[in-house]
């Protein structure tokens, strides 16, 4: 039954809002680790609205207190299922830095506050849903579940963990973007099918118990690609590398085999990814009646929303195949684009908002300039197992025409009420240089003073492991961009290049060369990206195993904190507080020629006063605290919870 709701109403977050709609129950409770923002950049908004448009009643349980199952009972027993997501990010990456330190803020929470979701949120949320209403199907999804659907290396525990399915006990795991998947799940359950009946769907994974795993039959997608078992990948790094190779060779939805991985006597089956959605399907998704605002119950700003509120998504997917990036694994490598008319309708809705200031903050996607680019030979695309369409060189069958994107940018900035349309998503520089018209349009109309690009490194071997082009590509792009900016009368526009420290293959020698490159070209990065081994990524396999899973060659890895700290400091060699770390790195690498007053010298021979002051402050912070027993406080012993300690405490109180 279709629910009648005003276009401006967010989905209900409370029982009162549910009853105000005249509902006595909901079909789906969507549990998320993020604050509820009804904007198409947030997964819970898109999936909730898609279900709503299909006629289902959906409620949002946002950032529930996981210490009890009571919040899961807020809307009563859901008629169909719980949809569980940790949020737009893996909860561990959301919580911890590359050095495993707790982050100071959470961009997806009100006021940027931390602590509103648990570590490994998918597990806690699924367990509480099961406790609240036994028997209600539980569907896990989102980035965290997608990237942990098989045995994976977990950086924060430094172990190989089982498939998340076996730990969270979900009935089904939906991976990828999931709009078609979640609607099909809801429709089939509403029609009386069981969760077991859904195992023939694309884009899902499920676990088999010991009895089922003994008699596995071929599924609807052909023979299984059997991966090394969990026990093998946990104890043998070569087996882990081989599993990674097989997983990534089976990501093209047109030719992927279903994957089978045993975990002791149990098994996990991952069906092929869902097929890419069409332009008309993309349009329907993004034309839904989003309020484009946080739920009105929030009184504090949500940082992630403030950053993207005036942005517009024009496409999804990425064929770059960067080994350190999870976008391809989650969204797929096949580009799925909206029509220009759908995008312009969103531009007009944005312009009609009284709070809109006239500037579209970003018109892009995972990559700003892949709009409507796809393989020109569908018959080849059906068979291709190449992980990147642009590495080691741009495939000759890839359509790289920027014409539709240039036309869209021109039309968008001419809309009434629009003062400027910016491009804030990353630019794929090797593609951009193929079209001088796009470069001219970009520099003349769509850069707000600076443009973000991601050369990532300068060392050829590291770049090859990343599946990124040679640094010469960045240099030629920088020259072309500066020329286009001058011709547009904007000579002060500049590039903001992003580089990664401690990526597999990057040693001190490579980082020192990068630091020299930065100095010679006048770049002083304000922010430094430390490589974080995210689950599922090819680069994570290299980090854990020290092996390139495709060539089986050894890869050097910066594992300990000291090495990672030195690599990070080298990228900001110009900061006085990094002086001693940089000096130590140069001495260890035998590059003392870069200490002193030479033209390539990274640091002076004598430490500046600021460096000495910073070292002293760090030392003071390290030794700050109470290290003397305070006898005014009752001493409870080393193990205050043991029985004898509790008995003594009762005796001292006269109990």
Distances (CA, A) of 38 to 62, 111, 183, 316, 389: 12, 17, 18, 19, 34
pLDDT band at 406 (very low <50, low <70, confident <90, very high): very high
625 pLDDT exceeds 70?
no
As a whole-number percent, the residues of the chain with pLDDT over 70 amount to 93
pLDDT band at 526 (very low <50, low <70, confident <90, very high): confident
- Tokens 């949809």 correspond to 83
Dump pLDDT digits (tens) for 102-155.
999 999 999 999 999 999 999 999 999 999 999 999 999 999 999 999 999 999
CB proximity list for 38: less than 8 A, separation 6 or greater: 10, 11, 45, 49, 290, 291, 292, 293, 294, 295
pLDDT band at 92 (very low <50, low <70, confident <90, very high): very high
Q: Residue range 309-313: average pLDDT?
A: 96
7 pLDDT exceeds 60?
no
Q: Residue range 170-189: average pLDDT?
A: 96
CA pair distance 292, 349, nearest whole angstrom? 10
Distances (CA, A) of 370 to 232, 234, 282, 593: 39, 38, 16, 43
- State the pLDDT at residue 463: 97
- 260 forms bridges with which residues in the sheet? 226, 269
- 222 forms bridges with which residues in the sheet? 219
- State the pLDDT at residue 298: 96
Q: Where do the structural domains in the chain lie, given as residue ranges?
A: 15-270
pLDDT band at 563 (very low <50, low <70, confident <90, very high): very high
Query: In sequence order, what DSSP letters do the residues of 445-477 get, joined into one string?
Result: HS-SSEEEEEEE-S-HHHHHHHT---HHHHHHH
C-beta of residue 369 within 8 angstroms of C-beta of residue 390: no
C-beta of residue 13 within 8 angstroms of C-beta of residue 38: no
Report the SS3 class of residue 59: strand
- State the pLDDT at residue 330: 87
CB-count burial class (<10 Å; 0-12, 13-18, 19+) for 190: middle
What does the mean pLDDT of the chain come to?
92
- Tokens 């209900």 correspond to 12
C-beta of residue 143 within 8 angstroms of C-beta of residue 89: yes
- State the pLDDT at residue 627: 45
- State the pLDDT at residue 639: 53
208 pLDDT exceeds 70?
yes
248 pLDDT exceeds 90?
yes
- State the pLDDT at residue 402: 97
pLDDT band at 643 (very low <50, low <70, confident <90, very high): low
Number of H helices, E strands in the chain: 26, 20
1 pLDDT exceeds 80?
no
| CB atoms closer than 10 angstroms to residue 159 | 11
Dump pLDDT digits (tens) for 463-506.
999 999 999 999 999 999 999 999 999 999 999 999 999 999 99
Q: Residue range 320-345: average pLDDT?
A: 94
Dump pLDDT digits (tens) for 575-598.
999 999 999 999 999 999 999 988
Q: Domain 15-270 is classified in which CATH homologous superfamily?
A: Cobalamin-binding domain (3.40.50.280)
295 pLDDT exceeds 60?
yes
- State the pLDDT at residue 633: 46
């Amino acid at each position: 039954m279709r629910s009648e709701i005003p276009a401006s109403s967010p989905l209900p977050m409370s029982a009162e809002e549910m009853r105000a709609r005249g509902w006595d129950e909901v079909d789906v409770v969507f549990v998320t680790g993020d604050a509820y923002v009804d904007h198409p950049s947030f997964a819970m908004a898109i999936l909730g609205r898609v279900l709503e448009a299909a006629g289902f009643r959906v409620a949002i349980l946002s950032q529930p207190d996981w210490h009890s199952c009571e919040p899961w009972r807020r809307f009563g027993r859901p008629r169909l299922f719980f949809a569980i997501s940790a949020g737009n990010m893996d909860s561990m990456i959301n919580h911890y830095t590359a050095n495993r330190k707790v982050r100071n803020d959470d961009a997806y929470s009100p006021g940027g506050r931390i602590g509103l979701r648990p570590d490994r949120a998918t597990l806690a949320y699924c367990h509480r849903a099961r406790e609240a209403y036994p028997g209600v199907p539980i569907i896990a999804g989102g980035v965290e579940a997608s990237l942990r659907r098989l045995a994976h290396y977990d950086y924060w525990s430094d172990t190989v963990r089982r498939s998340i399915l076996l730990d969270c006990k979900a009935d089904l795991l939906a991976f990828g973007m999931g709009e078609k998947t979640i609607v099909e799940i809801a429709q089939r359950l509403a029609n009386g099918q069981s969760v077991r009946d859904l195992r023939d769907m694309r884009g899902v994974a499920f676990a088999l118990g010991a009895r089922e795993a003994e008699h596995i039959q071929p599924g609807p997608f052909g023979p299984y690609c059997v991966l090394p078992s969990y026990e093998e990948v946990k104890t043998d790094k070569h087996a882990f590398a081989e599993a990674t190779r097989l997983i990534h060779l089976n990501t093209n939805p047109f030719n992927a085999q279903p994957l089978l991985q045993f975990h002791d006597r149990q098994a996990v089956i991952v069906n092929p990814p869902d097929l890419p959605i069409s332009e008309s399907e993309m349009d329907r998704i993004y034309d839904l009646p989003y309020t484009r605002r946080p739920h009105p119950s929030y009184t504090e700003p949500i940082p992630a929303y403030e950053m993207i509120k005036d942005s517009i998504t024009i496409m999804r997917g990425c064929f770059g195949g960067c080994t350190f990036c999870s976008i391809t694994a989650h969204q797929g490598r096949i580009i799925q684009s909206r029509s220009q008319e759908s995008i312009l309708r969103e531009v007009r809705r944005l312009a009609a908002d009284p709070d809109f200031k006239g500037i579209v903050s970003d018109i892009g996607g995972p990559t700003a300039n892949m709009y409507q680019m796809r393989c020109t030979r569908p018959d080849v695309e059906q068979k291709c197992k190449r992980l990147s369409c642009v590495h080691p060189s741009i495939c000759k069958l890839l359509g790289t025409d920027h014409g539709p994107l240039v036309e869209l940018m021109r039309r968008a900035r001419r809309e009434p009420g629009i003062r400027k349309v910016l491009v804030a998503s990353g630019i794929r520089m090797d593609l951009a240089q193929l079209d001088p018209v796009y470069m001219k349009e970009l520099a003349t109309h769509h850069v707000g003073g600076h443009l973000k690009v991601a050369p990532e490194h300068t060392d050829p071997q590291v770049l090859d492991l990343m599946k990124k082009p040679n640094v010469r590509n960045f240099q030629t792009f920088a020259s072309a961009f500066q020329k286009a900016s001058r011709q547009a009368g904007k000579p002060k526009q500049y590039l903001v290049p992003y580089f990664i420290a401690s990526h597999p293959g990057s040693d001190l020698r490579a980082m020192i060369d990068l630091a020299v490159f930065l100095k010679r070209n006048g770049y002083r990065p304000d922010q430094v990206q430390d490589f974080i081994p995210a689950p599922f990524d090819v680069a994570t396999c290299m980090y854990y195993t020290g092996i390139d899973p495709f060539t089986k060659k050894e890869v050097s890895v910066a594992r300990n904190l000291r090495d990672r700290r030195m690599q990070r400091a080298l990228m900001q060699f110009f900061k006085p507080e990094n002086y001693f770390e940089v000096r130590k790195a140069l001495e260890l690498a035998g590059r003392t020629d870069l200490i002193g007053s030479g033209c390539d010298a990274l640091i002076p021979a004598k430490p500046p006063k600021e460096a000495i002051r910073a070292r002293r402050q760090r030392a003071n912070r390290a030794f700050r605290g109470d290290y003397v027993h305070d006898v005014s406080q009752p001493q409870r012993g080393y193990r205050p919870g043991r029985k004898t300690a509790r008995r003594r405490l009762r005796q001292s109180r006269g109990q």
